[in-house]
Amino acid sequence: QVQLVESGGGLVQAGGSLRLSCAASGRTFSRYAMGWFRQAPGKEREFVAAIRWDAGFTYYSDSVKGRFTISRDNAKNTLYLQMNSLKPDDTAVYYCAAAVSRVVVTATREYDYWGQGTQVTVSS
């Protein structure tokens, strides 16, 4: 089992940057595929980015490709999301999630563990 805690959210102007972190408990972090999701008010939770257990493969939604970068440090049990060129449409609660999988997964239902989320607000 793994527990996830996100941090790094906040208020930023359009065009700015933020880096989210997700600290994982336990000694088996490297066994999990990891992902970032987000949920805006009144909308369903949506996939943002995912990374394979060894960081050898990453995948992004079209809406963030080229602006966001997902990475992980297995030695530190930490997942990251570098967000650049932020837009007001990026405003949402951002969640990290862990999947018991050796490959990248993108569907919400495929993830086994979730953090509590961190708010990102982008002002215009």
Predicted confidence at residue 26, as pLDDT, reads 77
Residues 6+ apart with CB under 8 A from 60: 48, 49, 68, 70
Sign of torsion over alpha carbons 18, 7, 37, 75: positive
Predicted confidence at residue 27, as pLDDT, reads 72
Predicted confidence at residue 90, as pLDDT, reads 98
Predicted confidence at residue 1, as pLDDT, reads 84
Place of tokens 């493969």: 57
What dihedral angle (degrees, nearest 10) is formed by the CA atoms of 99, 104, 110, 113?
Answer: 20
How is residue 84 annotated by DSSP? Answer: -
Residues 6+ apart with CB under 8 A from 75: none
Chunked into runs of 10 residues, the chain (124 residues) has average pLDDT values of 95 98 90 97 97 96 98 96 98 97 94 97 97
